[in-house]
Amino acid sequence: MELTFSQACENNKSAILSILQKAFIKTKNVLEIGSGTGQHAVHFAEKLPHLSWQTSDLIINHFSINQRIRSSQLKNISAPIHIDLNDEWPMNNTNKTSNVDGIFTANTLHIISWFLVKRFFEGVKNNLKNGGTLCIYGPFNYDGKFTSESNANFELWLKDRDVNSGIRDFEAIELLAKSAGLSLISDNDMPANNRLLVFIKDN
């Protein structure tokens, strides 16, 4: 059985794990938005056996994610639920009763439109338990500038593909996060000009 494969995930999963090991040290139930191939989910669920990892994505990716989960035989990872950021998240929870105390997303905020980035933070506000942790991996701009020539070229590629996508400004993301009740805990430098932002939802 051939599994859908992303070389980028293979390249970045160890560096991401080194941050998640600290950020999710007390976390029990992680929800991932945009699980893609499922490679991150399987790697992190295997290396962080104290937590349960809930995958999610658009339906188009469910088959690949399910295949990868099945082949992993891990018990602490769940088949994808359908979360399209255009819609309400099907968690059936209020802030007070949600058991999601961790949310992870990688390489999504520059793919989706700014409207959906705002919807993402609304979803985090409504579904992440108070005191829970949000980890976001991907490229960001600072002071309105690209952090590298390769990110500037990546932006051209993104816009050519979809004019509504694009590398987000860190400052705008932090503002949105604040309005969703989140505080920035750390902004971690990652290989290949990426960042891993860690936020905590205030009690």
Can you give the binding site for ligand SAM, defined by CB under 6 A?
6, 9, 34, 36, 40, 57-58, 61, 83-86, 106-108, 111-112, 116
Chain position whose Cβ is nearest to ligand SAM: 36
Residue (108 or 188) nearer to ligand SAM, CB: 108
Q: How far is the CB of 7 from ligand SAM (least distance, A)?
A: 10
Q: How far is the CB of 113 from ligand SAM (least distance, A)?
A: 8
Residue (143 or 157) nearer to ligand SAM, CB: 157
Cα dihedral sign for 141, 179, 132, 100? Answer: negative
Taking the C-alpha atoms of residue 182 and residue 96, their distance in angstroms, rounded to an integer, is 16
Residue (97 or 157) nearer to ligand SAM, CB: 157
Closest CA to 124 of 79, 91, 166, 170: 91
Q: How far is the CB of 87 from ligand SAM (least distance, A)?
A: 8
Taking the C-alpha atoms of residue 108 and residue 35, their distance in angstroms, rounded to an integer, is 9
Taking the C-alpha atoms of residue 107 and residue 151, their distance in angstroms, rounded to an integer, is 13
Q: How far is the CB of 33 from ligand SAM (least distance, A)?
A: 6
Helix (H) and strand (E) counts for the chain?
6, 9
Backbone angles phi, psi at 58, to 5 degrees: -65, 155
Residue (27 or 56) nearer to ligand SAM, CB: 56
